[in-house]
Structures are given as structure tokens and as C-alpha cells.
Homo-oligomer: A and B are copies of this chain.
């Protein structure tokens, strides 16, 4: 705000700015149906990730382009991603949740452009089956199929990428709070763990549940990181919690 004031004081009423990066969001999976679907058949699930990812894209300064749901079929996926690549600055795919569907996504992405896949799998929990690729200069992020993992990975990997593509060299500060960990947290060394917590009166209580449960995210005040080398954190240790807004 003060920068705008300073510009106005100097009589500068127009400044060149970076265009918002266009971020295509593609959902995949035969089981995934639009949120508008009133009744679900057995095995169907509404697309929760796309709208949530769109909100995070907007927070990161990007313009989300919802490209809808693509069925588990290599040709359909190739056509959808090819079209998305041609008019986007970043492409995000919520990959199908089955291992087979994930492999299929990787095969399709590998054939979309050069140099192709950077990595398939991150030392991160949740978020291990993340795919990162560069298709002729356009970054492609393949997210885990379950919504909670997808949102965790996208905040960690996608937000800095969208900001960078949008010309933002200094990330704005995140709200954090110092808290005392309520209980021991186990973790495997060599993997970054993201743990959702509630914070009450300076005490951080970890929330656990199936990785697909969005309710853990909505109940959390924020998250803490168990660093890669650590095998866990002891109860009563001091931790930094990054707060959800």
C-alpha cells in the first residue's frame, strides 16, 4: 500500500507490471466427477482439489484456468495436457490416485516436450508420488490424487513456482507462530514431514488421519515441518507453525 502512495506522491499513476501467470488445472480419474454432481454412484468422488488449488493459485498471484476432468485414458490425457501447455505458463495435474493411473500420467507427460520429467517422487510426506517436469519451458506439476496430499504439495512446491513464473523474486512473509509440541512425533530420517496442527494457548496438537482426509486440513490452524534428517520431534520441543490464512 505504501508503495502505491509513494508512486502517487511522485505523480506516477501507471507502472509496468508482470502479467499474472496462467495456471492450467487438469483433474484426471474415471472416478472423479464435477462438484455440481447431486448424487454419487458407488466409487465416485467429487473433484475437491481443483477449486481448492484455484484458490491457492490466486493467493500466489496467478490466474487459475480450470480445464475440467479428463478420464483415465492416455489419448484423452495427451490431448488435454497438450492443449493446456499451449496457452499456459504452468500446468497442474491432479493425477489419478491408483498407481497405474499415475504411471500413465508420467508416460504421457514424458512425451509432451523436452527435457521432460525432472523427478517422479519426492522425499516428502504426504506428497511422495509427486511428478515434476519441464515440457519445452512450461513447468508441469503432477500432484497426488488425494486432495490433502495435493494441497500440501502444491503449497510447498507449486506456490513458489507460480510466484517465480509471475516475476516475484521475494516471497511475501508467511504468518508463523511459535508453539510447544504436545506429544512425540515420529518421522523417518531422509524425508520431510508436513504435520497439520491445532494451536491453542501456545500448544501445538498434531492432527492425524488418512491422507485423503480434507477435514484434517480444515480443522488445522497450520502446519509444522519435521526436517529431513530428523527421526522425529520430542514432546515439549519448541516448533514453528506456519498458519493457514
Contacts and interface: CB of A to CB of B under 8 A. Distances in A.
B35 A218 contact: no
A46 B9 contact: yes
Number of copies: 2
A229 to B, nearest CB: 23
Contact of A52 (B5, B47, B56): B5
A245 interface: yes
Contacts of A218: 2-3, 6
Interface in A177-206: 177-178
A214 B48 contact: no
Nearest to A12: B35
Contacts of A49: 5
Interface size range on A against B = 35 or more
Nearest to A177: B173
Contact of A176 (B5, B10, B176): B176
A139 B5 CA distance: 24
Interface string A120-157: 00000000000000000000000000010001000000
A8 B12 CA distance: 43
Contacts of A217: 2, 5-6
A5 B215 CA distance: 10
A43 interface: no
A11 interface: yes
A37 interface: yes
A245 B6 contact: no
B173 A51 contact: no
B48 A36 contact: no
Interface in A7-50: 7-13, 35-38, 40, 45-50
27 contacts: A1-B52, A1-B55, A1-B56, A2-B52, A2-B214, A2-B244, A4-B52, A5-B48, A5-B147, A5-B214, A5-B217, A6-B215, A6-B218, A7-B35, A8-B46, A8-B48, A8-B52, A9-B48, A9-B147, A11-B36, A11-B37, A13-B35, A13-B36, A172-B175, A172-B245, A173-B175, A174-B175
